[in-house]
Structure 1
Amino acid sequence: MALPLALSGQDIIGQARTGTGKTYAFGVAMLQRVGKPRKNRKKPRGLVVVPTRELALQVTEDLVTAAGKLGSRILTVYGGRAYEPQIEALKQGVDVIVGTPGRLLDLVKQKHLDLSQIAMLVLDEADRMLDLGFLPDIERIIKLVPAERQTMLFSATLPGEIVALSRRYLNRPTHVRAENNDAEAEATPQTTQFVWRTHRMDKIEIMGRLLQCEGRGLTMVFCETKRACDMVVEQLKERGFAAAAVHGDLGQGQREQALRAFRNGKIDVLVATDVAARGIDVDDVTHVVNYDCPQDEKSYVHRIGRTGRAGRTGVAVTFVEWEDLTRWKVINNALSLPFAEPVETYSTSPHIYSDLGIPEGTKGVLPRANRSRAGLAAEEVEDLGETGRIRSRSRKGRDDDREERRERPARTPRERRRTRGGRGLEAAEQAIAEPRPVEEPFEGPGDILAEEPASRPVEEPKARRTRGGRTTGETPAPVAPEENQSPVIELPPVEADVTPRNEESAPRRGRTRKAGLNPEVTLGATPPEQAEVSGWDDEPDHEAPASRPQPEKIIPPSPFAVIFQSPDLATDDDEIAPSAASERAQNRRRPSPRGQGQQRGPRRGN
């Protein structure tokens, strides 16, 4: 119906459900108008804008099949691939371009793509582009295309935004509808639908039984989030099924690898988000499972539209959780479906086996004898020139990243050339290996025979004035004892936890001590005349205070007896403190101040 109008050059708004051949409706007319390729013509004359990468590949395949005899040059441009192959193809000459809005605008901005000779513009799945927020990009692309053109807009549904867009940019369009007035609210009649109310923890077990039903071919499972897709794929693989995921967190090479493996039959379960609900036309898709309840009736129609295409039959099963009942009732009323109250279903419910033709006694794990699929690993990943590492939330992607990190060569350890003391590494090692000779210390009272560590630099003390007029950093030189003085007592080596003292680095504050040791660890007494000869402190600042008398020690007769000795502070003139009872008695004897010198008058009678 739309083909004669398209060949005549009229603007068209095409509306039909998925799987009815919308691609050929505009593809044949575009190839006929573009004609055979010419050597002197390098700029494209036909442009098809699609919302997703998978739909771009699907449309390109159909156009290549239709242009087999014409030899038209068709190029697909979309994100996720390297720019260089696409730029090289544009330089050689292109007749028709199929691409996503983002990459088209990038090539135009880089001045590699010229849209000034576009004669036919097609917007495929326009409602999906509006849902993804591509309306500003579409308006910019339309402004780059000549005003004298033929515009065709195709969509499964026709919301108000599409109508407003068609009135603004289309010239007297003809609305072609392939169904009745309620086409957008109808599901595919060749598809048998089942709606079950399930529990979240039991859905994967039901899936394991459902995938073993009789006559099942390729199956598509739709989830709401990317994380749910990865979770379902991991659990299905553990149960023995050949499954793969397609969602936005995967690189373009991984997405195309999964789709090729699905078309080639190496995997039979494709778990995807709504990104794959449009444009994926795979033969022999017999079952569609809505693992999560769709957001609205449009998503439901496009999901189950992946099966029952081109006159074939299919089965669509929808899982509805308890919290999604209200949303499902809205979808059910909009599509006039007979599932207002979904049947409560568990993995052990008998109607699962009877409705889907599952053999009795089937469990949720695929027997090893039936695991005949090669799996996703058998399909090679095409090198698309992607930048960065492959993105994935799955466990396999994380394991691959760990393997890459393990294969990296270890770094060469950095050799240390200098030490903290400023010396070279060889000099430090030599100083450690050769013991330092001990110098003869000054045999004076209280000297500590200690050696300063070689690695610690000697710090010069800061100059501070004392009461005696000299600075703290100036330590007087010790004077050797004379012959007529008494001999100096030599201290034996002491094994005690005493910090070494350095005369050059430790400044003395105020009055310096006569002996260099703490009184608690001093093992011998030093005579006063010997201290004067030593010359440690010739002119002390002030005299040392007299030592306090030590209290007399009390030795108890028994270690278990406790003796308290307190000073007697009482004297003979002290009065004994009265008790509380004696104070009250004394207060009663005292006359009241009110009654002294006053007498009460006679009482008045009544």
Structure 2
Amino acid sequence: MALPLALAGQDIIGQARTGTGKTYAFGVAMLQRVGKPRKNRKKPRGLIVVPTRELAVQVTEDLVTAAGKLGSRILTVYGGRAYEPQIEALKQGVDVIVGTPGRLLDLVKQKHLDLSQIGVLVLDEADRMLDLGFLPDIERIIKLVPAERQTMLFSATLPGEIVGLSRRYLNRPTHVRAENNDAEAEATPQTTQFVWRTHRMDKIEILGRLLQCEGRGLTMVFCETKRACDRVVEDLKERGFAAAAVHGDLGQGQREQALRAFRNGKIDVLVATDVAARGIDVDDVTHVVNYDCPQDEKAYVHRIGRTGRAGRTGVAVTFVEWEDLTRWKVINNALSLDFAEPVESYSTSPHIYSALGIPEGTKGVLPRANRSRAGLAAEEVEDLGETGRTRSRTPRKGRDEEREERRERPARTPRERRRTRGGRNGAEASETAVPETVAVEEATAPVEVADVPSPAVELPQVEADVAPHDGESAPRRGRTRRTGRSPETAPVEPVAAEDLDAPDPDVEEPAPAPQQQRPEPEKIIPPSPFAVIFKSPDLATDDDEIAPSAASERVQNRRRPAARGQQRGPRRGNQP
């Protein structure tokens, strides 16, 4: 219905539920109007603005498929990737640009992108861009585009801000709606919905058993926060499931790696926030699980819209905790559903097995015989030249990996303590240290001494340990004395141990100096504790004036102006 109007060049407001083929509705008309590429035309003629990176990649893939015969040059620009490849492609020339608002404005600011020749402008998922706060950026982009253009706005819902935007910037648009007023209530007629009231600590066990139901293909699990996504992925990996996460804290390469692995079947469980709830079209998604209750009815519709697409059937399961009952009742009343009072459910409840077709006796851990998926590690991470830092946290190791590390870890060797002296080992220090005793082979061996001018010199005395000879008795330990009477030779005479304390007759010992005793200070003992020991002399004389007090100075200062007035005399006006 929208394609003939788009080919005629009219402005369109398209409203349809997700999965109805909105991309081809504006993509085919844009490619037809842009035409075949030309060498002398380098500036883009078509611009498509999308809210998320994943949606930009998907729209580009659909347009490349549609432009297979035309050969149109299509470029995708979004944040998280290097600027250089995108700038080089813009210099070579493009026909259609698909991008997010932030990167588009960055390239325009750097003067690498010129939007002065845009003839067709498309705003895809406008309500989602409004939710993400891109409305001011969209208005800036619209002002950079020529006024004479065709504008097409597509959205699943039309809030008041989007209606006001269409009235300001669209020229007599035609509103094309592919659903009736109760569209949200019948948004997914091919999808079987289940809503259960669960406990927070039992949800992962229910999810583990749900993922083993009959006929399950690819499954998407939606969480409210990024931390919850990481936690669910870690728990599922420990239970044997091939799972991966997609959220805003991951780098662009990691997000695309997870999506490629999910499309290729290397993983079968994709845990994501609402960033993946819009525009991601993956075939064979049979089950959608709302692990956390959605914020509103729009989020619920877009989440469960990932399954049951293009005539296929699917299953949507929603977990509602006790504190989320009020929020769920608002969603239930807005969509006119039949789950105003969710059934209280646990992992052992019989109705879970019968409703989803779970075999009896199934536990929350996947048997090893069924673990046939290659996993996320089998998909390589593409080097995108990512800007900024990767903010993802390192995943926690599984219990099996931790046990293997403990087994492979070698035994700890006992610590050896070494005594050091001055930074060196004790053995090295003892070799280089000066020995306290000197070993003398022969106590009576002659020792040659240099010529000494004085007739007799007293040499230092050395204590020695005399080493015993073979076959001889060891001499006793004693002190040797060297005499300097002969200038040529000086024999060493042994000294007995009992003579060590004997005074040397040849040496006169100096008399000890008398010690001077310091006189002790005289103690003053007053006869009475109240007696005056010291009295300062009185240096005042009779001619000294007594210093005035502060009060007397203030009084004197008050009287001074009156005294001055009396000295000046009477005023002129008082003269007779």
Q: What TM-score do you get using the length of structure 1 for normalisation?
A: 0.67
Deviations 1:244-302 (A, max 9, x none): 00000000000000000000000000000000000100000000000000000000000
Change (3 A) 1:368 1:397: closer
Deviation at 1:544, TM superposition (A): 2.6
Matched to 1:544, the amino acid is: P
Alpha-carbon distance in 1 for matches of 2:282, 2:388: 30
- Over the aligned positions, Cα root-mean-square deviation in angstroms equals 2.6
SS at match of 2:203: helix
Aligned to 1:17: 17
Alpha-carbon distance in 2 for matches of 1:181, 1:160: 16
Mapping 1:406-417, distance limit 5 Å: none
Mapping 1:301-340, distance limit 5 Å: 301-340=301-340
Q: Does structure 2 retain, via aligned residues, the 8 Å contact 1:227–1:393?
A: no
Deviation at 1:395, TM superposition (A): 1.6
Deviations 1:171-206 (A, max 9, x none): 111100000122245431110000000000000000
Aligned to 1:126: 126
**Among candidates 521, 527, 537, match of residue 544 of structure 1:** 521
SS at match of 2:142: helix
Q: Does structure 2 retain, via aligned residues, the 8 Å contact 1:156–1:184?
A: no
SS at match of 1:531: coil
Alpha-carbon distance in 1 for matches of 2:286, 2:201: 25
Deviations 1:375-399 (A, max 9, x none): 000000000011455331342599x
Aligned to 2:189: 189
Aligned to 1:588: none
Q: Does structure 2 retain, via aligned residues, the 8 Å contact 1:157–1:184?
A: no
Alpha-carbon distance in 1 for matches of 2:305, 2:110: 38
SS at match of 2:514: helix
Aligned to 2:170: 170
Aligned to 1:408: none
Matched to 1:319, the amino acid is: F
Deviations 1:547-568 (A, max 9, x none): 99xxxxxxxxxxxxxxxxxxxx
Alpha-carbon distance in 2 for matches of 1:55, 1:279: 5
Change (3 A) 1:225 1:42: same
Matched to 1:234, the amino acid is: E
Alpha-carbon distance in 2 for matches of 1:394, 1:196: 33
Mapping 1:326-475, distance limit 5 Å: 326-387=326-387, 389-395=389-395
Structure 1 consecutive aligned stretches of length 4 or more whose deviation exceeds 6 Å: none
Matched to 2:323, the amino acid is: E
Matched to 2:9, the amino acid is: G
Change (3 A) 1:64 1:326: same
Aligned to 2:148: 148
Aligned to 2:269: 269
SS at match of 2:515: helix
Matched to 1:202, the amino acid is: D
SS at match of 2:153: strand
Aligned to 2:439: none
Matched to 2:49, the amino acid is: V
Alpha-carbon distance in 2 for matches of 1:545, 1:360: 108
Change (3 A) 1:305 1:394: farther
Alpha-carbon distance in 2 for matches of 1:91, 1:115: 14
Normalized per residue, which structure has more strand? 2
Deviation at 1:361, TM superposition (A): 0.8
Alpha-carbon distance in 2 for matches of 1:370, 1:531: 102
Deviations 1:533-583 (A, max 9, x none): xxxx8xx7x7534699xxxxxxxxxxxxxxxxxxxxxxxxxxxxxxxxxxx
Mapping 1:104-123, distance limit 5 Å: 104-123=104-123
Q: Does structure 1 retain, via aligned residues, the 8 Å contact 2:195–2:342?
A: yes
Matched to 1:60, the amino acid is: T
Alpha-carbon distance in 1 for matches of 2:2, 2:178: 9
Q: Does structure 2 retain, via aligned residues, the 8 Å contact 1:30–1:120?
A: yes
State whether structure 2 residue 257 is matched by structure 1 residue 280: no
Alpha-carbon distance in 2 for matches of 1:238, 1:531: 89
Alpha-carbon distance in 1 for matches of 2:183, 2:196: 25
Alpha-carbon distance in 2 for matches of 1:63, 1:387: 26
Unaligned runs of 5+ in 1: 399-429, 438-485, 489-528, 549-606
Q: Does structure 2 retain, via aligned residues, the 8 Å contact 1:286–1:313?
A: yes
Q: Does structure 2 retain, via aligned residues, the 8 Å contact 1:187–1:335?
A: no
Alpha-carbon distance in 2 for matches of 1:381, 1:390: 13
Alpha-carbon distance in 1 for matches of 2:520, 2:217: 109
Alpha-carbon distance in 2 for matches of 1:337, 1:192: 12
SS at match of 1:128: helix
Alpha-carbon distance in 2 for matches of 1:18, 1:374: 31
Alpha-carbon distance in 1 for matches of 2:108, 2:389: 27
Matched to 2:188, the amino acid is: T
Overall identity of the aligned pairs, in %: 91
Deviations 1:190-227 (A, max 9, x none): 10000000000000000011000000000000000000
Alpha-carbon distance in 2 for matches of 1:397, 1:368: 19
Alpha-carbon distance in 1 for matches of 2:524, 2:136: 96
Q: Does structure 1 retain, via aligned residues, the 8 Å contact 2:185–2:337?
A: no
SS at match of 1:142: helix
Q: Does structure 2 retain, via aligned residues, the 8 Å contact 1:2–1:12?
A: yes
Deviation at 1:323, TM superposition (A): 0.1
Q: Does structure 2 retain, via aligned residues, the 8 Å contact 1:304–1:316?
A: yes
State whether structure 2 residue 507 is matched by structure 1 residue 530: no
Alpha-carbon distance in 2 for matches of 1:158, 1:186: 17
Q: What TM-score do you get using the length of structure 2 for normalisation?
A: 0.71
SS at match of 1:292: coil
SS at match of 1:19: coil
Alpha-carbon distance in 1 for matches of 2:235, 2:204: 8
Alpha-carbon distance in 1 for matches of 2:395, 2:11: 49
Q: Does structure 2 retain, via aligned residues, the 8 Å contact 1:391–1:397?
A: no
Change (3 A) 1:275 1:397: farther
Alpha-carbon distance in 1 for matches of 2:30, 2:111: 25
Aligned to 2:465: none
Mapping 1:186-265, distance limit 5 Å: 186-265=186-265
Deviation at 1:98, TM superposition (A): 0.2
Matched to 1:146, the amino acid is: P
State whether structure 2 residue 31 is matched by structure 1 residue 47: no
Alpha-carbon distance in 2 for matches of 1:320, 1:545: 97
Deviations 1:315-345 (A, max 9, x none): 0000000000000000000000000000000
Alpha-carbon distance in 1 for matches of 2:387, 2:276: 23
Q: Does structure 1 retain, via aligned residues, the 8 Å contact 2:249–2:390?
A: no
Aligned to 1:411: none
Deviation at 1:166, TM superposition (A): 0.3
Q: Does structure 1 retain, via aligned residues, the 8 Å contact 2:249–2:391?
A: yes
Alpha-carbon distance in 2 for matches of 1:389, 1:273: 20
